[in-house]
């Protein structure tokens, strides 16, 4: 698995008007072609009277990408939308741009600018983030060791996701996979091998969340 990649945090929408034509960008994070197709069909169903529903998506899964002009002149809609994603290095994302014709032809250049422009605004609304591969560790200790464990985690710059105070203290920690070995070695050393980190999950986490925690 790759250590990181860029995608979008959530769904987002944006609108621009060019010579009375309205362009609406709808952006969503997706991980499979089925999810992308479902999102495209959802937006199309909401805009059945639209002149065009242009889309583009790029997936890490099988390095798959698709785009369509949906009736717009060739090379003026789907490709400009796709190229915005490609140039920004964004993947696992689907963009659907709906156009309601305003009565004035925009020409090739005008269409390219409109579709690429509203795509960029849609990405801003969805929030472009770097996804970092992380291991989620569970650490269980008695109360006498909790202070050492917490101090060790924080001085290493890792993110505490949850702490439960029951018969024992259980701490969930998010650690960038590239630092996992060093993290485990340090915890074992700081607690004289009394606390043994256990991996309970491996997943991608928004890097800005990790940075927010580090700055606290």
pLDDT tops 60 at residue 159: yes
* 73 & 153 share domain: no
Q: Among residues 126, 148, 173, which one ends one of the domains? A: 126
Burial (CB count <10 Å: 0-12, 13-18, 19+), residue 170: middle
**For 96-111, what is each residue's pLDDT tens digit?**
999 999 999 999 999 9
pLDDT of residue 142: 95
d(CA 111, CA 102): 13
Q: Are residues 96 and 185 in the same domain?
A: no
Domain boundary (94, 110, 126) is at 126
How far apart are the C-alpha atoms of 182 and 159, rounded to whole Å?
15
Cα dihedral 44→45→47→48 (10° resolution): 100
The parent domain of residue 173 ranges over 131-215
Kindly report the pTM of this predicted structure: 0.85
Residues 25 and 102 occupy one common structural domain: yes
Which residue among 87, 104, 126 closes a domain? Answer: 126
Using the predicted structure, report yes or no on whether residue 120 has a pLDDT greater than 70: yes
Share of the chain above pLDDT 70, in %: 97
For the chain, percent of residues with pLDDT exceeding 90 = 93
Residues 119, 205 within the same domain: no
In tens, the pLDDT along 30-78 reads 999 999 999 999 999 999 999 999 999 999 999 999 999 999 999 999 9
- 7-27 pLDDT tens trace: 999 999 999 999 999 999 999
Residue-level pLDDT at 191: 95
User: What number is the average pLDDT over the span 195-215?
Assistant: 81
């Amino acid at each position: 698995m790759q250590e990181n990649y860029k995608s979008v945090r959530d769904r987002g929408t944006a609108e621009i008007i060019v010579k009375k034509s309205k362009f609406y960008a709808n952006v969503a994070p997706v991980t499979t072609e089925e999810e992308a197709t479902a999102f495209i069909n959802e937006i199309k169903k909401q805009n059945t009277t639209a002149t065009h529903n242009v889309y583009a998506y790029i997936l890490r899964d099988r390095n798959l990408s698709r785009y369509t002009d949906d009736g717009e002149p060739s090379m003026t809609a789907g490709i400009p939308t796709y190229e915005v994603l490609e140039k920004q290095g964004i993947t696992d994302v689907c963009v659907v741009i709906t156009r309601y014709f305003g009565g004035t032809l925009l020409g090739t250049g005008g269409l390219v600018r409109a579709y690429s422009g509203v795509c960029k605004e849609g990405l801003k609304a969805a929030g472009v983030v770097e996804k970092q591969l992380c291991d989620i560790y569970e650490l269980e200790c008695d109360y006498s060791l909790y202070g050492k464990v917490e101090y060790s985690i924080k001085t290493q710059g890792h993110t505490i996701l949850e702490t439960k105070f029951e018969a024992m203290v259980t701490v969930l920690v998010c650690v960038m996979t590239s630092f996992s070995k060093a993290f485990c070695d340090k915890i074992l050393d700081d607690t004289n091998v009394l606390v043994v980190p256990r991996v309970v999950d491996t997943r991608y986490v928004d890097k800005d969340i990790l940075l927010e925690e580090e700055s606290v």
